[in-house]
Copies of this chain bind each other. A is one copy, B any other.
């Protein structure tokens, strides 16, 4: 759209998720404050959204993109206020529809870095279908799903990720539905990039954001986010120093999957059933462990990993579950246009309109 000076590809970044998005000139790096808008942040005190906002604002400059070529689109929910606080282009749209709107933006404009911010209700209740289709199409967008396992903005009804039996305003005797596992759902929807992060772990969150932005195609990032008002402590087992080592399984590509104090637990496979099982490294030795391979083409692997999450919140893998290459819808759509133009020449409206059966009256 606007004059591009140095694009990601010229800068040698290769066909990443940011290919085609113009970079800031050398010597003009942007900082966190460049990504901070003048709007007062209006989340409740202690809301996990603050931590994610700070992480994103600090991380964005690292991408080196021009601020004006970044667009954040959100739905409705507490988390969906996110775009207001970033000094980029932003749209706070309607409930559940951000992936559709973002798809239109991404398909139209290869020079934009397009982000979707959504909540567990926004993304998996009303918007579940749009998320699923954006994932299978592999549209080049990055989806940040703030999962607080509750409807925050509407004041505390259970959400599609709330644990079964949850007592809320709309379920005084406990909710009845089995929750979605967002990672399983994304993989079942043919996602190419699926990750999970924690609001409070800036380093891990930033690493996941980096991988997600770098991925070309639809990146799906579930962020566990605390809602101190309506679902406080939902993720405490992953945060409390007493339990987190035992519960959190950090996935690192190419590394054997180990966790617990000094990595004493590990992930093995039952040789008979092939199922993933947790083992004691001391018993089986490190060689017997599953080595994490987020590039595994077969989604069955990442799916199996996603089932390690014990409900409501126990042992939980975080990090990148799956990251495989597949052409993106938007790149291919533009390629079809380019191909049509190069093989048939740019269109001539007059000729098109005349068609094959025209006649002339003098």
Contact = CB atoms under 8 A, between A and B. Distances in A.
Interface of A: 125-129, 132-133, 136-138, 160, 173-174, 176-181, 184-190, 269, 271, 273-276, 290, 296, 298-301, 303-304, 307, 326-327, 329, 332-333, 336, 339-340
Contact of A132 (B136, B176, B185, B273): B185
Nearest to A304: B300
A129 to B, nearest CB: 4
A326 B177 CA distance: 10
A325 to B, nearest CB: 12
Contact of A177 (B137, B180, B276): B137
B178 A138 contact: yes
A134 B128 CA distance: 12
Contacts of A184: 187-188, 190, 299
A196 to B, nearest CB: 15
Given A184-B188, A188-B185, A177 B300 contact: no
Nearest to A127: B129
Given A133-B128, A300-B307, A180 B173 contact: no
Q: How many copies of this chain?
A: 2
A300 B298 contact: no
A160 B133 contact: yes
Contacts of A301: 273-275
Contacts of A276: 274, 300
Contact of A190 (B127, B176, B181, B326): B181
Contact of A299 (B137, B176, B290, B307): B307
B176 A180 contact: no
A245 B185 CA distance: 32
Q: Which 4 A-B pairs have the closest CB atoms?
A: A188-B188, A300-B304, A129-B129, A128-B129
A177 B136 contact: yes
A346 to B, nearest CB: 16
